[in-house]
Amino acid sequence: MTEITSQHVNESRPHHRHLEQSRAQVIDLLSRQAVERELVSRSENIKQDVVAQLVARQQQAQLAQRLAGFHPADIAFVLESLAPEARQMAWQLVRPEQRGAVLLEISDAVLRTLVADMRPEEIAAVIRHLESDDIADLVASLPEDLGHEVLTRLDRADQAEVRSVLSFPEGSVGAMMDVEFVSVREDALLEAVLRLLRRRKNDLPDENTNIIAVDRSNHLRGMLSLEQLLLNEPEQTVAEVMTHDPVFFFTDDLVKDAVAAFEKYDLLSAPVVNLHQQVVGRITVDAVLDEIKERAESEGLRQVGLSEDEDLFAPVIQSAKNRWPWLALNLLTAFVASRVIGAFEGIIVQLVALATLMPMVASIGGNTGNQTLALVIRGLALDQLGPAQLRQMFTKEFSIATINGLVWGGALGLMTLLLYRDFHLALVIAAALLLNFWVAAAAGVLIPLALHRFGRDPVMGSSVILTAMTDSMGFFIFLGLATIFLV
């Protein structure tokens, strides 16, 4: 299929398959170059050295040219895919005027390795021509001291704008918004708007699909799409053709609410206002996409306690340490579960089958609890768990736990009966599984709710806490019932 396709493709068009091939080639060439350079620098034959260096320099010029033809996002991808030495070499090949845009697209971890070798003036020079909200994003990603140093090296006007963006708390619409936008008075004629746009032709902001309509005190009045501007008569006023009730945001709204509104109402851009309803910025759909992408990418990592986005090539020691808090927590919960078992060592010696069977009660309970957990976390994310729904969810999860506890407890009991020919042991394990399913249902609903209520991210850590509970309680219930009924 791919072969047939390729024949028809006009090579000048950036179909993503070709971009991928091209990117892969460049990554490969850069990696090899770095290795060769390493070899040359170690070689002692000076003549060979000079020739090799000439060849290398020519190759580098070619690579620089290919990189220059890439979209900044593709250059960022190439840099992220390279090992540290090759990455530094490649970074030198990126044209200075592209570097700012590349830094915007790159992950925080790789950003920090790139700027590690740059002086504050160099960084400032690279990011100076970006929009002030983008500069603010970058400065916020730098180590605090360095960010401050860079900031003081910008123009005074830029500094003020960047500082005002930085003053909004992380996760608020204010911190995410774009401060460059086109606004017009609602009583302007469409032909005047057209003239304004043509005059500003060369410095219009990106993604300019909507123009914000304001009154004389800059209060939000409506939104004028380019389509409305195109399709109506030039003699009409903005107010006559604009959308009067656009979705808008306050600077202190949460980014996640803005993201949800974009998804729901299919927005391309939306105005941001201050408490006096004066327009201070806008949010565009491309920023929303980036936001969703970042959240989705980090979700899997947050679940296992890795909140920082880890550079694939970060030093081993640092990566190992990143995992310590989680390991420490896990050691602690495992220790508690182990102490629960320790309390029952007497009965285990009498009936060793208990040791063999107990992990099943714990493990199956943990897994069923994680299913409830996933449903509740999704319900919370979708904002669908009001008090009435919660009661219903609780009842439902308990009913499911009861049904499944009976069905699978029965199955486990039957298995035990076949293996050990001990009817009482079979009854005990069946009852223990049912009870642990109830623990799992309660934990699966309550843990994420509690984390959410206390303003914590329910994705992070809820699974460890749940598993700790179903493990400890599973062992306790099973060994406890065994102590009561089997000895």
Angle at 124 between CA 31 and CA 57, to 5 degrees: 30
212 binds its own copies (CB under 8 A): no
The DSSP symbol for 178 reads: B
Distance between CA atoms of 248 and 269, rounded to whole angstroms? 9
Options 54-62, 88-96, 119-127, 345-353: segment touching its own copies (CB under 8 A): 345-353
48 binds its own copies (CB under 8 A): no
CB of 146 to its own copies, least distance (A): 26
Binding residue (CB under 8 A) for its own copies from 95, 209, 424, 485: 209
Contacts of 483 (CB under 8 A, 6+ apart): 344, 347
29 binds its own copies (CB under 8 A): no
Packing angle of the helix pair 423-453, 387-420 (nearest 10 deg)? 150
70 binds its own copies (CB under 8 A): no
CB 436 within 8 A of CB 319: no
247 binds its own copies (CB under 8 A): yes
- Using DSSP bridges, classify how beta strands 210-214 and 279-284 pair: parallel, antiparallel or unpaired: unpaired
Give the tokens for residue 167: 């003053």
261 binds its own copies (CB under 8 A): yes
Options 40-48, 58-66, 122-130, 291-299: segment touching its own copies (CB under 8 A): 291-299
Looking at the Cβ atoms of 33 and 467, the one nearer to its own copies is 467
Amino acid identity of 368?
T
Tell me the three state secondary structure of residue 333.
Answer: helix
Looking at the Cβ atoms of 54 and 231, the one nearer to its own copies is 231
Binding residue (CB under 8 A) for its own copies from 39, 54, 55, 289: 289
Of 335, 346, 372, nearest to 463 (Cα)? 372
Tell me the three state secondary structure of residue 221.
Answer: strand
452 binds its own copies (CB under 8 A): no
Looking at the Cβ atoms of 44 and 206, the one nearer to its own copies is 206
* Residue 57: Cβ within 10 Å count: 10
327 binds its own copies (CB under 8 A): yes
Of 107-166, which residues contact its own copies (CB under 8 A)? none
CB of 43 to its own copies, least distance (A): 23
Per rule CB under 8 A, count of chain residues that contact its own copies: 147
Phi, psi values for residue 244, rounded to 5°: -85, -20
204 binds its own copies (CB under 8 A): yes
288 binds its own copies (CB under 8 A): yes
Of 349-388, which residues contact its own copies (CB under 8 A)? 349, 352-353, 355-357, 359-360, 362-364, 367-368, 370-371, 373-375, 377-379, 381-384, 386, 388
Torsion of CA 375, 376, 381, 383, to 10 degrees: 110
295 binds its own copies (CB under 8 A): yes
304 binds its own copies (CB under 8 A): yes
The arrangement of strands across the sheet holding 249-250 comes to 249-250, 269-273, 279-284
39 binds its own copies (CB under 8 A): no
10 binds its own copies (CB under 8 A): yes
